[in-house]
Structure 1
Amino acid sequence: MGRQKPNKPRRDSTKGVHRHPGLSLDAGPHPDGWKADRALLEAVTGAALARCTSCQGVTLTLLVEDSVTCARLVELACEAITKREGSLPHNQTDPDASGYASLAFRRLARASQDVTAHRMYQECEQMTVHERRAAANTALDTLVGYATLPQGLLTRLRHATADPR
């Protein structure tokens, strides 16, 4: 904070702060013991769904520092794709296939195809922040894209990940 000038009103730091409802997760840890930051995931998905780039930039920067929450975001995107397509398409997992998915997203999506997603979380933990950012950007683009579909896929995904309380 800077110096306060005499006779100048102090700016309220909470003014202009806003929230965007996003995807919420269940309260318990992931079945493999991984625990994502629920509030951060909700903030970043909410900002992306609301197309609020200022909030999205800040929350995405925080998210990529947390490998578990970043992996959970990719996992949600993979779930959305699978619910819509029946499985992950080749261009979402193969690094040599043409398509818009980042190589980092494809790497994690490929690792997520095990019986459990444990390998994907380990893989994300090994990634650089830049690789996680690329994977998270693809995941957010995927979730926002599916949100615009008329079939209500995002609503079903929200219910599937909602806190059961």
Structure 2
Amino acid sequence: MFENLREDFNTHQRDPWRQGVWVMAVYRFGRWRYKIRPAFLRRPLSLLYKFLKIGVQIAAGIDLPCETQVGRRLRIEHFGGIVISGDTVIGDDVTLRHGVTLGLRRTGVAGAPVIGDRVDIGAGAKILGPVRIGAGAVIGANAVVLCDVPAGALAVGVPARIKKHRHPTLQEAA
């Protein structure tokens, strides 16, 4: 947990006032508490997590539940309006900007996005349903993504369309 926290802090330019640092610290704590055995020791930590999560939601406007699978170095660029479903999977080195939603297409229908490594998601973008976003893809501002986006592609529009596709170099794919 502490290695991940240090990495998250460095990802946010070592600035303790960036809301992304707060959100990631509460997220990492929430994931870590599941490892505590026995259950009677975990319960007070779970209660503390719930209060911290609500506090960070109010202060930062970002909802990142600990059930979400987040890779390393998630960068949350801007304050507010970010909602992420607990079923979402996020890869390494992903960048999120304000107003992003990663979630289910409809309530009660299973299937959340899987975001690859090094994906850049623009402000106001919505990625909904069981879609896969390939490594190195760029999702344009205010795009509504309802289908898979290949690696290295640019997706823009409502609904999103693939505008250009570049093949990642060997170094990027590694």
TM-score, normalising length: structure 2 = 0.30
More helix as a share of residues: 1
Which has the greater radius of gyration? 1
* Higher relative contact order (Cα pairs below 8 Å, separated by 6+ residues): 1
